[in-house]
């Protein structure tokens, strides 16, 4: 529980701080005063005033805000537009340069940029987080190049066989499975020359690449990679690098064979025999349920991943890969939102604070690297969700500003207040809905 709470607070604090800092920085660049910068709502737990800004951490961490001068109908500018100010009988005229500027007194393009600062910083922060992940931890890759060949596939017709080890594609050496896939994708629809080793002999085979159905898969030994803290495997005393020999007297030869056995055994005790620390060990382990988002199915798991190795890249490749991963998450999130809207994905799949807390705890138990990966995903999601054209969200503020620009007239204070209240009501209903989903899931 403590791990979940701390991980959840870490994810929230980072995402919210980055978001609000985006608003803060753009406002400061336009020389518009920021009165408050708060992480959380309610009474301040910690506060410090720097310049004109009151920085605070409040008691309720589920959100945050910046209070920009003049948000209440440009009250700062109205005050500054007094014709004269008297000092001991003397009257001096204020110049425009000396006038304080409020949010609604700024040109519309500046207001829009300030509003967009939060979501944009969330999305950009994901790139930074991925850079940190790949720089510090490296890229996890599958080093096993022995293959299994699907019956009736083009790979089988080309002469590829089970237990062949792929070493090159059209003269380019490949050292891990991810590198192999990247090269094959580059040659999709074209013939390539596969260099492979079979029984110690090197040979080449011609193969027409079809990325929709490659017909090959890696033969991975049933060796444990990283373990989930307090997962069934960890509790049973298993360690990274242990070799699974048997499950219920069935000999385990490949990782996929082992995984398939575990996936269909939710809450069913299984007798494991494995080799670790130069000893043969055994224990009864009961797989727990896990929702697989890829297959959209609930399966069994013991809290272990396949054995991977870390590949460290030059910094320029790290930046490129981090940008690519962020773009993939960005477009996948947009696609998911679209599928939710058209009903292709059930509304039950939408998660709220409870789901984020659970995911944070799960990720933290797999290690800090996994928690950082979740942080990048959550930050992109937060940025995109805030762009929804709902009043009270950043996208709603942009929409209102655009309407005002078309009308060439600002909404009245009363109208703006009503719009905001409608927005808050919509957000409240959404919070209730996603929380209900979290509780009943």
| Listed residue (132, 178, 138, 136) closest to 312, CA to CA | 138
Tell me if 100 sits within 8 A of 82, measured CB to CB. no
Which residue in 20, 52, 186, 404 is the catalytic one? Answer: 20
Instruction: Say how many C-beta atoms besides its own lie within 10 A of residue 90's C-beta.
Output: 8
* Phi, psi for 394 (deg, rounded to 5): -60, -40
Active-site residue flag, 20: yes
Give the per-residue SS3 of 271-336: EEEEEECCEEEEEEECCEEEEECCCCEEEEECCECCCCEEECCCHHHHHHHHHHHHHHHHHHHHHH
Structure tokens at 253: 């030869």
Q: Which residue has the tokens 């996208």?
A: 395
Q: Which residue has the tokens 């030869």?
A: 253
What is the distance between the alpha carbons of residues 40 and 63, in angstroms, rounded to a whole number? 5
What is the distance between the alpha carbons of residues 280 and 300, in angstroms, rounded to a whole number? 24
Structure tokens at 258: 């082992």
Q: Distance from CA of residue 72 to its chain's centroid?
A: 35
CA dihedral 98, 99, 103, 109 (to 10 degrees): -70
Structure tokens at 345: 């994905």
DSSP 115-144: HHHHHHHHHHHHHHHHHHHHHHT-EEE---
Active-site positions read 20
């Amino acid at each position: 529980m403590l791990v979940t709470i701390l991980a959840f607070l870490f994810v929230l604090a980072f995402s919210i701080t980055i978001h609000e800092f985006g608003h803060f920085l753009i406002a400061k660049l336009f020389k518009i005063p920021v009165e408050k910068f708060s992480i959380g709502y309610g009474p301040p737990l910690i506060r410090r005033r720097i310049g004109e800004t009151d920085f605070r951490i409040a008691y309720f961490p589920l959100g945050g805000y910046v209070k920009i001068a003049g948000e209440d109908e440009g009250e700062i500018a109205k005050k500054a537009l007094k014709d004269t100010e008297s000092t001991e009988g003397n009257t001096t005229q204020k110049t425009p340069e000396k006038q304080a500027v409020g949010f609604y007194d700024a040109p519309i393009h500046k207001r829009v940029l300030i509003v967009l600062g939060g979501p944009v910083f969330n999305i950009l922060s994901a790139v930074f987080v991925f850079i940190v992940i790949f720089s510090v931890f490296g890229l996890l890759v599958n080093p096993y190049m022995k293959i299994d060949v699907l019956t009736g596939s083009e790979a089988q017709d080309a002469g590829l066989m089970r237990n062949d080890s792929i070493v090159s594609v059209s003269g380019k050496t490949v050292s891990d499975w991810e590198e192999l896939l990247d090269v094959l994708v580059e040659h999709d629809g074209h013939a390539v020359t596969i260099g492979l080793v079979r029984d110690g002999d090197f040979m080449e085979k011609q193969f027409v690449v079809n990325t929709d159905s490659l017909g090959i898969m890696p033969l991975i030994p049933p060796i444990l990679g990283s373990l989930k803290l307090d997962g069934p495997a960890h509790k049973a005393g298993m360690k990274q690098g242990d070799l699974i020999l048997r499950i219920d007297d069935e000999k385990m030869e490949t990782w996929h064979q082992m995984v398939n056995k575990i996936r269909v055994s939710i809450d069913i005790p299984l007798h494991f025999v494995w080799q670790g620390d130069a000893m043969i060990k055994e224990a009864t382990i009961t797989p727990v349920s896990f929702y697989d988002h890829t297959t959209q199915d609930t399966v069994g798991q013991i809290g272990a991943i396949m054995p991977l190795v870390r590949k460290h890249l030059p910094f320029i490749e790290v930046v490129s890969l981090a940008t690519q991963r962020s773009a993939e998450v960005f477009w996948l999130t947009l696609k998911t939102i679209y599928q939710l809207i058209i009903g292709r994905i059930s509304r039950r799949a939408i998660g709220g604070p409870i789901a984020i807390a659970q995911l944070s705890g799960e990720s933290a138990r797999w290690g800090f690297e996994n928690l950082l990966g979740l942080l990048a995903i959550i930050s992109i999601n937060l940025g995109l969700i805030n762009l929804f054209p709902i009043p009270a969200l950043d996208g709603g503020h942009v929409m209102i500003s655009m309407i005002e620009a078309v009308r060439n007239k600002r909404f009245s204070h009363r109208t703006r207040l009503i719009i905001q209240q409608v927005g808050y009501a919509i957000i409240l209903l959404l919070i209730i809905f996603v929380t209900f989903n979290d509780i009943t899931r």
